[in-house]
Structure 1
Amino acid sequence: MARVLIADDEDSMRSLVARAVAMDGHETVTAADGAEALDILTGDARGFDLLLTDIKMPIMDGIALALAAARDFPDLVILLMTGFADQRERASGLNAIVHDVVTKPFSVADIRAAVAGALRARQMDKR
């Protein structure tokens, strides 16, 4: 199964997403902001298959995190989450590095499907 790093500044959203992703057998690691997530990415020798990050966060937002992660970990699949239309627009220019943007609010089924789709795309890219 995959290793998924989840970054979101809202405790309840981070917990919900981690539980939803774990339902499919994936290992999850969580971070409260982009800077913490980047520290985890760079300090974890095992690596991650997927980064699932909120866009709007303090310290380092999800777009800055996605840009740094894509630069340093080119095989990492990136999914963004947002509940704000203006943030979704900011992400629209990142199609080359971001697999998709998941709009909040979403159901457990929605986030599980988004993660499964992103991981399938990663497998296809490896072939």
Structure 2
Amino acid sequence: MNQPEELLFLHYAALATTAQERLQLLATISALFNRPPGLYDGTALGLSPGAWPQLCVWLQHNPSPFWTLEQQSIRIHRACQKHVIIGTGQLIEDLHFSSPSRPSFDDVWQAASRFIQQNIEGISHDQKAEA
């Protein structure tokens, strides 16, 4: 299939075998979108240490006129502002199944941490007002 060079076509279902892996890789790839030309590593892209190797493997198997994989970095040649996700039905299904009906431990921990921090700040503010 002859694809226009100003568009990036992502075949969503082919990204990985599980819903979680597909969603994670799609999120990782999106770190490259709309970036100006330059040399980037995982830190500059804001990626977790585990996401960087996934992105490198994906780039090795999916050449693009927008970027190339170099030794320890990715060279962005031009911003990828237009992208098409092929297989949005699978994406929607994955999003549906990835939305947990019960919160994860991390969600509960983050909510508790925010609650405690807000209350500590509130107590501190009240004590200053009384003084």
TM-score computed with the length of structure 1 as normaliser: 0.28
RCO greater where, 1 or 2, for CA within 8 Å and sep 6 or more? 2
Pick the structure with greater CA Rg: 2
